[in-house]
Amino acid sequence: MPPHQLLSAEVLMKDYMIPQRQYIALFNLLEATNQKDTSLIREMWQACIHDLHQFYTDSPFEKVQMGIQIIYNSLSTNSPLFPPPMINHILLNYHRLQSDIIPDLWVWGTLESCGFELEAVLLYWEGLRIGKLSPWNEDSAMQFLSEQIELLKECYKKKHGNAPLNTIQGETILDILFKESSSTLPRLPSKRSAEDDLNSDQPSSKLV
């Protein structure tokens, strides 16, 4: 049994207070992964995120942090059919819904568990933070990302020499981060609502 399936229904429902319907959705998602059905994976991701949002809206912060993190970690471990950019897109959608209670550090940790190097995650999220907190200017956020990615590449070369960057489907993590940043940068609520983000699968379909 793959490591990402070791969390039992009892553990999810008792220790992390995941309702039974949520576990069933997660089980179906894992089955879709095993069957390599990417369209069903996208559908189940959206169902899981919607249920989690409804279930955890009024829950204590600790339950939100522990319950959702363990789900993402269990799904992402040894699951090559979950491309990190797709996971990243969904995490950002969820972060927008729960931005008042989900700390940036949790998002960093989850992205790292999905295969991103920590430095790249920190850099990427800093670019997102600048775009989110400043008056919206996508060009300035993209310029920041571009400059910082070049610095990160230099640091990586000094640290690792000519060793290749980790790759995902033939592309470097940094290339993917930069390429997808224009579509995953958070939007102002006036431009796009969180509900629209949750219901739309267009970005995910591009990434799979």
57-68 average pLDDT score = 44
pTM listed for this prediction: 0.25
- pLDDT of 162 > 60? The answer is yes
92-116 average pLDDT score = 41
**pLDDT tens, position by position, 163-201:** 554 443 444 444 444 444 434 333 322 223 333 444 444
54-66 average pLDDT score = 44
List the domain boundaries for the chain: 1-82, 118-208
**pLDDT tens, position by position, 126-154:** 444 444 444 434 455 455 545 655 555 56
**Which whole-number Å values give the CA distances from 114 to 64, 107, 118, 164, in the listed order?**
19, 11, 11, 19
- Cα 62 to its chain centre, rounded Å, is 19
- Cα 92 to its chain centre, rounded Å, is 6
Which one-letter amino acid corresponds to residue 163? A
Q: DSSP assignment of the chain, as one string?
A: --GGG-S-HHHHHHTS---HHHHHHHHHHHHHHHTT-HHHHHHHHHHHHHHHHHHHTTS-HHHHHHHHHHHHHHHHTT-TTS-HHHHHHHHHHHHHHTTTTS-HHHHHHHHHHTT--HHHHHHHHHHHHHHHHSSP-HHHHHHHHHHHHHHHHHHHHHHHTTPPPPEETTEEHHHHHHHHHHHHSPPPTTTS-HHHHHH--HHHHHH-
